[in-house]
Structure 1
């Protein structure tokens, strides 16, 4: 597995368009999350390792019109690499399904443990301290303000994460724990969610407004 991980990491480093939230450290964290979850479900596998390192092979910008197709395109792009690495057809199918189903925007339901583990592992990286850092890094790259100065926590307006960084929290991030597919994923997600709730309370205090209890 060590040799395979090295080969997959090299593929990602060469072929994946990297940004602050989708880079080699992200892939390493997702693989570590996979290992933790899989340890409670019978152990890791070659398809799980491959899916962890190739799931963002086609990394489209968050504001790209075809962003929802990124996971399917990544799955397609992974096939030739998996074939070159000697994966049999059944392992290729297992890997590519997991890649296609990991995306929040794609809306594809995971049908295997490999797909369920990868999806939870990837979403865990959008939560907690690292999730906070990634969310603001992405929004900063898109030149979006941190929050709406008149209504930071969208109390009297609809949250719009195409306009404000903080609005991405109720639109997506704070909803992720409810859709975890594994028991271990749910447990870790709740711990990381608590970190985000503390941040929101501290942020509200620092900007002189009430904590967003409707988000917590």
Structure 2
């Protein structure tokens, strides 16, 4: 019988190593570690294999890098897990998590359908917060050619996934449009505790950013008061 987790680690590492967008192998490794930490602090019974495989495969083909196609990730996941002869129930579960995991807009709520999915989603969102989240945000913004900051461009609270996908934004606006919202969208008690400190670190960073930019009277600085 194949060691599905070990082989999946090797597969994903080969695919994502060297990525410069913040969605590289080391992001996957951190999400995997976060998932195990949250799982161990969860009192309810969960399927460990599902959590491990979903954590490892959640960004194997992110829609952001495939013209907004949300089907390609689950498709690649299914093909890979079938090649390892993983049980169909596990494959279906992992594919569902990969399909539902991503943030799709401030006003778009896609509830994870299982505790395993909630754990992996929380683990992924934790890596979008704190010092690492800040670093990843600027890496991705640079890759996309986004302006660092423009005080004339107001953040948007996106109503639909399509609006979120097609947005023209700045890197600093991304904090308001997604990252500062994540703390209150954690699913599990363990993740909520971990998210608090990382959220506060991001708020402090933004306060310093606006101070150094002489933008304490800006709309963005006023928005920040909502998230302290």
TM over 0.5: yes
Specify the alignment match of 1:166 in structure 2: 172
CA distance in 2: counterparts of 1:36 and 1:13, whole angstroms: 21
How far does the alpha carbon of each residue in 1:15-39 deviate from its partner, in whole angstroms, 9 at most, with x for none?
4583331110000000011011101
Question: If the length of structure 2 is used for normalisation, what is the TM-score?
Answer: 0.81
Mapped pair 1:111 → 2:96? no
Match of 2:216 among 206, 210, 214: 210
**Partners of 2:5 and 2:49 within 8 A in 1:** no
Q: What is the CA–CA distance in structure 1 between the aligned matches of 2:96 and 2:129, rounded to whole Å? A: 24
Q: Does 1:8 align with 2:11?
A: no
Tell me if the contact between 2:118 and 2:187 (Cα under 8 Å) persists in the aligned partners.
yes
Compare relative contact order (CA 8 Å, sep 6+) and give the higher one, 1 or 2: 2
Equivalents in 1 of 2:116, 2:46: separation in Å? 10
Cα pair 1:126 1:134 within 8 Å, conserved: yes
1:59 aligns to 2:65 (yes or no): no
SS of alignment partner, residue 166 of structure 1: helix
| Gapped regions of structure 2 (runs ≥ 5) | 157-166
Q: Counterparts of 1:25-174 in structure 2 under 5 Å?
A: 25-41=26-42, 42=45, 45-61=48-64, 65-66=67-68, 69=70, 72-105=71-104, 108-148=110-150, 151=151, 158-159=154-155, 162-174=168-180
- Aligned residue among 173, 185, 190 for 1:184: 190
CA distance in 1, matches of 2:84, 2:191: 29
Query: Aligned equivalents of 1:37 and 1:43: distance in 2?
Result: 11
The range that moved more, 107-116 or 170-179, is 107-116
Unaligned runs of 5+ in 1: none
* Mapped contact 2:74–2:96 kept (Cα < 8 A): yes
Distance change (3 Å), C-alpha of 1:65 and 1:87:
closer
Q: Residues 9 and 53 of structure 1 are in contact (CA less than 8 Å); yes or no, is this contact kept in structure 2?
A: yes
